[in-house]
Amino acid sequence: MDGTLVDTEKTIIKSWQKTLKDTLNIEPPAEELFYVLGIPGTKAVQKYSTNPQQSQELLKLWEHNDHQMFHYSKLFSGIETMLQQLIDKGIKLGVVTSRTNKEMQIVLDKFNLEKYFTTFITASKTKLHKPNPEPILKAIETLKIDPTDTLYIGDSIYDFQCARNAQVEFALASWGAKDNPEFSKVDYLLKQPTDLVKLV
């Protein structure tokens, strides 16, 4: 979802920076915080806190700041057209995200995306998270599809590793991805959303 359908990078990084400044009085540059993109917040905060109570406080404030700064987020160009064309072709669509149910709903409501998808696998619905294959495998089970007919699209190294661990093909959404040498091994490279329609 983040970095693939919706450009939320500015929202996520700025809200995390504000959270760290307000609670720990530290101001890491954005480049040091890119690690949070694509993983659950519970895992992201562990870099700065190993105290369970403090971690919960960080998460709560980060969620608040993220909501307050969500106006920075926007759909990537061509996403809605791509989704509708996939639906018209009879493709089953699902979302696998590191957001919680509550965090995901904010995105769905703002951009009216819920109508395009059959299932949503959030961090709230699995015990294990990316890069563990459990989220993708749960989506496959829910959609009642064959893994060999499954294509997972993502923008982060965690997405790629998750797909590999689930033994499904992976397409890199390059419009939201950060450079990583591992991406030379992806099955498909998508330069723009319409490339996916041509692929399937």
Domain 74-199 has CATH 3.40.50.300: no
Q: Quick one: pLDDT at residue 51?
A: 94
Distance CA 179, CA 15 (A): 23
User: pLDDT tens digit string along 149-194?
Assistant: 999 999 999 999 999 999 999 999 999 999 999 999 999 999 999 9
pLDDT in tens, 62-108: 999 999 999 999 999 999 999 999 999 999 999 999 999 999 999 99
Distance between CA atoms of residues 38 and 44, nearest Å: 9
Question: Which three-class secondary structure state does DSSP give residue 141?
Answer: helix
- Mean of all residue pLDDT scores within the chain: 96
Looking up tokens 């995901």 gives 104
Topology at the third CATH level for domain 6-72: DNA polymerase; domain 1 (1.10.150)
Contact between 62 and 16 under an 8 Å Cβ cutoff? The reply is: yes
Domain extent listing, the chain = 6-72, 74-199
**0.75 exceeded by pTM:** yes
pLDDT band at 116 (very low <50, low <70, confident <90, very high): very high
- pLDDT value at position 163? 98
